[in-house]
Amino acid sequence: MRVWTRLEKYQADPRRPLVLALGNFDGVHLGHQRILKTVAERAKKQKGLAAVLTFLEHPQRVLHGSDKPALLTSPQHRLLLFRDLGIDVCFLLHFTLAFSKTSPENFVENLLVERLKVKEVHLGYNAHFGFSRRGDSALMKTLAKRFEFDFFESAPVEVRGKFVSSSLIRRLISEGNLGEARQFLGRPFSIFASVVRGKGRGKTLGFPTANLRPHSEILPPEGVYPVEVRQNRFHLKSLIKKNEFEFVQEKPGAWRQGILNYGTRATFENSGPPVAEAYLFNFKGDLYGHTLEVVFHPRVREERRFEDRDALVQAIQRDIAHARQYFLSRR
């Protein structure tokens, strides 16, 4: 998959017209997947390129200067999911205050038509674009007729009587409803995280842990979770053309089972921001500097403070036994 971070040097190929999906796609949930699969299928039939135009930053955060909404998926995670859904090209742009002032009409004419020369544009249900979110499906339909490209609005996806949305999934994960969140995501909730150096306390307890720095911003409530983990190496390979990259993923590692504690290390510290630490069963090796994909399963227990080191060790042993039994029951 090719990735463009700026569009000044992009040259459209008339032999391979763009079938483009437009949106934030945070979470790449079932609703997003419907759009992206449709784009991939239609591009294949027309011998074109399946494309996505999205942003590094969530527009609402830039416009309102807050840290909300919390991101479900990091940009790299989204790129991997896009590629797996058959996308050929991703325009991954910065959303700035200056860009936000672009009128919907200018956005379509100057960027989609003149620069990208789109053949088709696909929007999600109730999506908006352009200054003050003035652009909607009705306007896109009008502009598509004016500039002679095809427009498709994706119908909402409904699961168990609820419309799939990123905001709903954020709430479910924050509340710890991972099973229900999975139904709307279409896959288990997972994060990408870098392994960083910690204090090494887990090793002294007999359970060496990987200290994680999550790439995304939303995690379930503090506590202990069974997890599945694998190493996932990827990078953007710079190409000759300026601001064009190739998204490259090396062969991922094998899935490993373990437990993850997310909390303030209550027995020893009980202060500061919560930290995620994963203990992998039957693993020996050095993970520092690696990127891991971490899949969360339903919580074993809340984080709690134990009287002493021995009580904590016993609790960890029970957590491990619980997690092992959980994974055995899923076979």
Q: What's residue 256's pLDDT? A: 96
120 and 262 both lie in a single domain? no
Instruction: Decide if 172 is inside a domain.
Output: no
* Residue 125 confidence class, pLDDT cut points 50, 70, 90: confident
What is the spatial distance between Cα 136 and Cα 125, in angstroms, rounded to a whole number? 10
pLDDT at 129: 94
Q: For the segment 143-162, what is each residue's pLDDT rounded down to a tens digit? A: 999 999 999 999 999 999 99
Same domain, 211 and 108: no
The residue ranges of DSSP E strands in the chain, in sequence order, are 2-4, 18-22, 49-55, 89-93, 118-123, 150-153, 158-159, 162-163, 190-196, 210-214, 223-231, 234-238, 244-249, 256-263, 275-280, 291-296
Q: Do 10 and 103 reside in the same domain of the chain?
A: yes
pLDDT for 200 equals 65
Tell me, what's the pLDDT at 320? Answer: 96
Is the predicted pLDDT of residue 68 greater than 80, yes or no? Answer: no
**Judging by beta carbons within 10 Å of its beta carbon (0-12, 13-18, 19+), is residue 44 exposed, middle or buried?**
middle
Q: What does the pLDDT read at residue 310?
A: 87
Domain assignment present for 184: no
Are 148 and 200 contained in the same domain?
no
The whole-angstrom distance between residue 158's C-alpha and the CA centroid of its chain comes to 21
Residue 11 sits in the same domain as residue 152: yes
What three-state secondary structure class fits 147?
helix
| Number of domains the chain contains | 2
**pLDDT per residue over 284-297, tens digit each?**
888 888 999 999 99
DSSP class of residue 64? Answer: H
Which of 120, 131, 109, 89 is closest to 19 using CA atoms? Answer: 120
- 197 plus 325 within the same structural domain: yes
> For residue 206, what pLDDT is reported?
78
Residue 201 has pLDDT above 80, yes or no: no
CB count in 10 Å sphere of residue 97: 9
Contact 26, 126 (CB under 8 A): no
Asked whether residue 180 is domain-assigned, the answer is: no
Task: Give yes or no: residues 282 and 226 share one domain.
Answer: yes
- For residue 60, give the amino acid letter: Q
- End position of a domain, from candidates 159, 174, 200: 159
In the numeric block, the tokens 């936000």 are attached to 100
Residue 183 lies in a domain: no
Q: Are residues 127 and 197 in the same domain?
A: no
Residue 191: which residues within 8 A CB-CB, separation 6 or more?
Answer: 74, 77, 214, 215, 216, 219, 293, 294, 296
Q: What is residue 130's DSSP assignment?
A: S
The CATH number given to whatever domain includes residue 237 is: 2.40.30.30
- The alpha carbon torsion through 324, 325, 327, 329 (nearest 10 deg) reads 160
Residue with the bigger pLDDT between 304 and 54: it is 54
Has residue 105 been placed in a domain? yes
Report if residue 51 sits inside a domain: yes
Q: Does residue 154 sit in the same domain as residue 257?
A: no
What pLDDT is recorded for position 269?
Answer: 67
| CB 121 within 8 Å of CB 35 | no
Q: Is residue 170 part of a domain?
A: no
Query: Which positions ≥6 away from 53 have C-beta within 8 Å?
Result: 20, 21, 22, 90, 91, 93, 116
Measured distance CA(128)–CA(121) in Å, rounded: 13
Q: Are residues 10 and 153 in the same domain?
A: yes
Strand pairing report for 275-280 and 150-153? unpaired
| Alpha helices, H only, 244-330 | 309-329
**218 shares a domain with 152:** no
For residue 70, the domain's CATH number is 3.40.50.620
Given this model, what pLDDT does residue 9 score?
Answer: 80
CB neighbours of 37 closer than 8 A, spacing ≥ 6? 85, 86
pLDDT for 240 beyond 60? no
Q: Flag whether 165 is in a domain.
A: no
Q: What is the three-state SS of 173-239?
A: HHCCCHHHHHHHHCCCCEEEEEEECCCCHHHHCCCCCEEEEECCCCCCCCEEEEEEEEECCEEEEEC
Lowest mean pLDDT among 6-15, 86-95, 169-178: 6-15
Containing structural domain, residue 58: 2-159
**Average of pLDDT values for 163-178?**
96
- Cα 76 to Cα 253: distance, rounded to the nearest angstrom: 17
Phi, psi of 20 (to 5 degrees): -115, 130
The per-residue pLDDT for 270 is 64
The percent of residues in the chain predicted with pLDDT above 70, rounded, is 95
**pLDDT digits 0-9 by tens, 267-282:** 666 667 889 999 999 9
Q: What is the pLDDT of residue 37?
A: 98
- Residue 262 in this model has a pLDDT that exceeds 60: yes
- 203 and 135 in one domain? no
